[in-house]
Amino acid sequence: MNLEIGSYEAKTKLPELLRGILAGNSYTITLRGEPVADLIPARSNKSSYAVAAILQMRNLMLSAAPVKGLDLRALINEGRA
């Protein structure tokens, strides 16, 4: 779960946030309401990040509306010319 937290609160509650990271949370730190940093678990296994990225891309593709009137085969053949 990704939660937003202000920079001052992040500074004062860092140990609590780190325990949250260990519990599986991630945080977006904001400054005056604008996101400036993400607090995420340290990279322990690069392949797990690749799997997560693939899952995010898959979810994005499945959530997008299909494009009507697009001939995918024609585009592929055009790229080969």
Identify the pLDDT of residue 23: 87
Identify the pLDDT of residue 45: 62
Report how far Cα 77 is from the mean position of its chain's Cα atoms: 33
For the chain (length 81 residues), average pLDDT per consecutive 10? 91 93 90 93 72 87 86 88 70
Residue ranges making up the domain that contains 60: 2-80
Identify the pLDDT of residue 24: 84
Domains contained in the chain, number:
1
CATH number of domain containing 37: 3.40.1620.10
Pairing of strands 26-31, 34-39: antiparallel
